[in-house]
A and B are shown apart, each in its own frame.
Chain A
Amino acid sequence: GNSVTQMEGPVTLSEEAFLTINCTYTATGYPSLFWYVQYPGEGLQLLLKATKADDKGSNKGFEATYRKETTSFHLEKGSVQVSDSAVYFCALHGSSNTGKLIFGQGTTLQVKP
């Protein structure tokens, strides 16, 4: 079945450091891929998405490229801020039309000033 695997957290960085959070997936067909972010005590918000191979999603300085050959969708940001501290979830939507998302386990990012 479909699944998503994220790198273990927590990830602790200093402000202005480069961020990479790894995400790999297993799916049949051509899934859509998403990154969601969860700030403390809140629900999830969409950060970015990509719907086909080689698409790059971007938002708020974050980027991720849909790599079908490596089944990956790694999240990157060139210079993190303290306000980026949150939990980041990679997710996929498979080929069905149910709208269901399959989530990775989440990666906690802590950025120190």
Chain B
Amino acid sequence: DGGITQSPKYLFRKEGQNVTLSCEQNLNHDAMYWYRQDPGQGLRLIYYSQIVNDFQKGDIAEGYSVSREKKESFPLTVTSAQKNPTAFYLCASSIGGGRANVLTFGAGSRLTVL
């Protein structure tokens, strides 16, 4: 079955450490996204990529970095510069950028900073 796989599901990090969250899709989608979810705040866009080797900042990109070297992969690095990284992170993909295109989401990764 096609879908999006995020790993790890749970991750603990000490302050000052960088961590990388994996996102892989086998849907042959061109566009991929990273959202952050905090209680009562909905989802906020961190980064998105519409094509391989290109990506753009979303609304809350500070303290995060991404790469898009392969169509199926869009890893997110949470750096030590991110002041409040504890959150639920969701990766998504879509066929393209059209206004009616549906986003398919992964199951999420929960990051906790100790």
In the complex, A44 has a CB within 8 A of chain B = yes
Q: Is there an interface contact between A31 and B99, defined as CB atoms closer than 8 Å?
A: yes
In the complex, A45 has a CB within 8 A of chain B = yes
State in angstroms the CA–CA spacing of A88 and B111 once bound together: 22
Q: Is there an interface contact between A49 and B102, defined as CB atoms closer than 8 Å?
A: yes
Q: Is there an interface contact between B31 and A99, defined as CB atoms closer than 8 Å?
A: yes
A-B contact count (CB 8 A): 77
State in angstroms the CA–CA spacing of A29 and B106 once bound together: 30
Which residues from B are CB-within-8-Å of A106? 40, 42
In the complex, B97 has a CB within 8 A of chain A = yes
Interface residues on A, range: 20 to 34
Q: Is there an interface contact between B43 and A103, defined as CB atoms closer than 8 Å?
A: yes
**Chain A 44-65 interface 0/1 with B at a Cβ cutoff of 8 Å (1 = within):** 1110010100000000000000
Number of residues from B at the complex interface, CB < 8 A: 31
In the complex, A105 has a CB within 8 A of chain B = yes
The listed residue with most B CB atoms (<10 A of its CB), out of A41, A45, A99, is: A99
Among listed A14-22, A66-74, A75-83, A90-98, interface-contacting one = A90-98
Which residues from A are CB-within-8-Å of B94? 99
Q: Is there an interface contact between A51 and B99, defined as CB atoms closer than 8 Å?
A: yes
Which residues from A are CB-within-8-Å of B44? 103
A46-B102, A46-B103, A103-B43 given; 11 more Cβ-contact pairs under 8 Å = A43-B108, A51-B99, A93-B99, A93-B100, A93-B101, A97-B96, A97-B98, A99-B33, A99-B98, A101-B45, A105-B41
